[in-house]
Amino acid sequence: MGQIKRAGSHVTKVLAIGLDSAEWRVMEPLVDAGLLPNIAALRDRSAFVRLDNSRELRTEFLWTELATGRPAEESGFWGVASFEPGEYDGRFKVDPNLRPWWAFGPSFSSVTLDIPDRGVITDDGVFGSQVVGWGAHSPTFDRTSLPEGLLSKVDARFGPHPAFKRECDPLWYSPAYLRNVTDALVEGAALRSEVFEYLLEQTPEWDFALSVWSEAHSGGHIMWHGADPSHPAFATPTAELAGEQMLRIHVALDQAIGRAIANAGECDVCVFSLHGMKPNSSDIQTSVLLPELLHRLHFKKAALRMPGGEEWRAMGMPVVVPDENMQWIDFVARHFADTDSRRAMNFVKRALPRMLLEAARSATGRSNHKPGELVGDIPSERPFSSVKGGVAKSSPTYMPLWWYRHRWPSMRYFAIPSFTEGLVRINLRGRERDGIVDIEDYQRTCEEVIAEVSSATSPLTGKSIVADCFMMRAEDPFDPAGPPADISFHWSDTTQALDHPTAGLIGPVPYNRAGEHDGTGFALFNGAGITPGDLGTRPGLDLVATLQAMLGRDAVNPSAGVSILDMQ
């Protein structure tokens, strides 16, 4: 078993490398085959642990837990999903201001690059180079840095990450996009090593350095059908290409890690992934099937009418693959209509030739890029002083769920935006502006929602689409600091449709992203006094406790976890 230097016994430098969403089940065979030599060499001289980050609401807040060392119940950050009952505002919201555990004051220098989700950056007790938004996956925060102007210098010297804001299109079915985005991710992984070296040079006496490589995250979402033979789309036309591109990304990450470790000098090293990937069983269920089901239950009519449902069932329910020249959101939008005007507009869209539609888009100033192209504006750095204390909000217009929002005030319960879990909000009187459900009926209404959604089944298996569900606000539905949803659903399989006893067949809908996150990660620890070996599985918060112990300092904000390597 590994052993770790106890806090206060020895002070050392620690280099932490985050491989965002890297899946060990995919990496380990590549390591064993000699395709990832740098990770293989690190594994052989390191203590290895699997991280369990399963939660009732498990996405988005993992990096906040890493930064604070505290669970969501204590930090109050439940993820970027939010809901403001006075306005029925379900936009994603990020408050980037938090005090990380490495805020030791001026006697401790740190370097951080692209911590995801919250864009962790602060002038409260943290000293050293901090950059957020240079090349993070799907950032919901401003591009900024400390000292102010540092990110602008990075952009001028290295350029922005070539895939920044261009790697989020759910185009797993487009060969051109898979090739183009992989080229950008491979280039970006190497470029990130250079940027990280530059930041270390700006803080030469650093004590703790953390850089996150997001390329496995981006690639996994759109190419997981080529990396995992269990994926239903593994036999679709782009799967073989996706597998080849995922290998390219992992090889690039291996090279980047080798370079980062070699150039960091003498220090202890931790390479980790907080969570991994699996076949996507959430995007369609959360963003399309759930809101449409709740709409049909309330209004007794359909808003989404996907064609050919029964024919699809008779054909054996094959994976639905859109035309590679069509954006996923356009494919779904053509079949969504909850008003007569929307139905008329969709009829015109389906009837007009593609060239005329593209001309109409251009004439109205809307984006008209082809699915294979990488497009997206990269904003300049915003001074930290101008964004400090602010809250960034973004409307998830790319989610069909968002199309139902004008109906929320008149519904007893409705789905709110989320990336993974299905989140349902009760329209509670006294909490929501136009609340309908009395508090005396809250428990019964929650149970009704759970029963209705759980009665929906997968046409493929005949089993419930719900794997598990949780009442998130059972103790106090009115708590203003509680999670945004009243109920959280975890989904059971990768179905593209659902059957419901009264709402009927909904779908089939093509997969949005090929991969989604699971709750398992890993960590490798290497340094003086650390014995190589497999330490089994530990809670994710133990990673923070271990990093704190490796530094040999008494933490100002001690982790809620336990040092992983302090085991005999």
pLDDT in tens, 508-527: 999 999 999 988 999 999 99
Are 368 and 361 in contact, with CB atoms under 8 Å apart? yes
Q: What one-character DSSP code corresponds to residue 537?
A: E
Q: Which of 59-68, 172-181, 302-311, 413-422 has the lowest mean pLDDT?
A: 59-68
Per-residue pLDDT band for 3 (boundaries 50, 70, 90) equals very low
0.85 cut: is pTM over it? Answer: yes
Q: State how far the alpha carbon of 558 is from the alpha carbons of 270, 315, 545, 550, in Å.
A: 18, 57, 7, 13
Beta bridge partners of residue 515, listed in sequence order: 279
pLDDT higher than threshold 50 for residue 248: yes
Taking phi first (over 0 means left), then psi (-120 to 50 degrees means alpha), and beta for anything else, what does residue 536 get? Answer: left
pLDDT 10s digits, 337-358: 876 666 666 666 666 676 665 6
Mean pLDDT of the chain: 88
Per-residue pLDDT band for 5 (boundaries 50, 70, 90) equals very low
Helix count and strand count (H, E) for the chain: 17, 19
Element (H, E) at 201: helix 175-202
pLDDT 10s digits, 301-335: 999 999 899 999 999 999 999 999 888 998 999 89
| Sign of the Cα pseudo-torsion (194, 195, 201, 203, in order) | negative
φ/ψ of residue 529, rounded to 5: 85, 0
pLDDT higher than threshold 60 for residue 568: no
Task: Give residue 393's Cα distance to chain centre.
Answer: 16
- Dmax over Cα atoms in the chain, in whole Å? 74
Percent of the chain residues topping a pLDDT of 90: 64
Per-residue pLDDT band for 552 (boundaries 50, 70, 90) equals confident
pLDDT at 375: 75
**Distant-in-sequence, close-in-space partners of 306: CB < 8 Å, separation ≥ 6:** 335, 497, 506, 507, 508, 509
Cis upstream peptide for 508 (omega within 30°): yes
pLDDT at 119: 67
As a whole number, mean pLDDT of residues 210-227 equals 96
φ/ψ of residue 11, rounded to 5: -100, 130
**CA–CA separation, 21 and 518 (whole Å):** 9
